[in-house]
Each structure stands twice: as structure tokens, then as C-alpha cells.
Amino acid sequence: MRIGELSRRSKLPRDTIRFYERNGLIGSAPSAEASNDYRDYPEETVERLKMIGVARAAGFSVTDLRLLLQAMEGAAEPGFDPEGYLDGKIAELKLLIAQSERLLDVLSATRAALSRVPG
């Protein structure tokens, strides 16, 4: 599929898709049509972009994602410890979730307290 369709289906701007490609998070191939300079993206790129979006929202950097995706594809850099890396990321996310739950409790308590104050 071409970038326009990928943009529409992934709901990401073309510039974001190009950025992810430049940074090795997704790939494309030259179009089969020799008469143009278009790039074709595999069907699974839509799902990969969704996963990238979720990971970015959880705080993963582009570098984090590149390392993770390389490990998932069996192409990790020499000396890279994927299990240790993932253990660290899991610990970070658990901490973030715990902090977010505490903040949610504080905000809920504050809202409840404000609703009891005479207006």
C-alpha cells in the first residue's frame, strides 16, 4: 500500500510515517511500477504503527522502540540483552501505572471533597 492509504488507515500524518521509516521502525520497498518513485508498505505496517503508537504513549522513545523491534525480529545488536531490557521496561511501566493510580486516587478524592463544599 502507498503512504496515503497507510496514513488514512493508521490515522497518522505522512510526516510521522516517514519519520518512523527514517528511524528504522517500519520499512517499505520501491513500488513495482518502474515509472515512479513511490514506496509500498506491507499490510502488517498498519498494526505495527498501532503498536508503536501505544508504546510511544507509554513513554517509549524512538531508540527504545528500535531496540525492542530489533529484538522481536531477532536482529538485536551484539551484546544487547533483550530479557534484561524488557525487565527494565516492565518495571518502569509498573512504576508509572502505580504513580498514575495514586494520582487518580488523589484527583478522585479532591473531586469528592469539592462536591461537598457549599457553592
pLDDT digits (tens, 9 = 90+) for 70-118: 888 888 788 888 889 889 989 998 999 999 999 999 999 999 999 988 8
Residue 42 has pLDDT above 80, yes or no: yes
pLDDT of residue 80: 86
Residue 34 has pLDDT above 80, yes or no: no
* Integer Cα distance of 30 and 114 in angstroms: 59
Three cell numbers, residue 92: 518502569
- The fold of 1-80 is Multidrug-efflux Transporter Regulator; Chain: A; Domain 2 (1.10.1660)
Which residues, including other chains, have CB under 8 Å from residue 53's CB and lie 6 or more apart? 12
Task: Give the chain's end-to-end CA distance (angstroms, integer).
Answer: 58
pLDDT of residue 98: 97
pLDDT of residue 44: 95
Q: What global pTM score does this model have?
A: 0.74
**Mean pLDDT, residues 12-18:** 96
**Mean pLDDT, residues 2-29:** 95
pLDDT of residue 68: 85
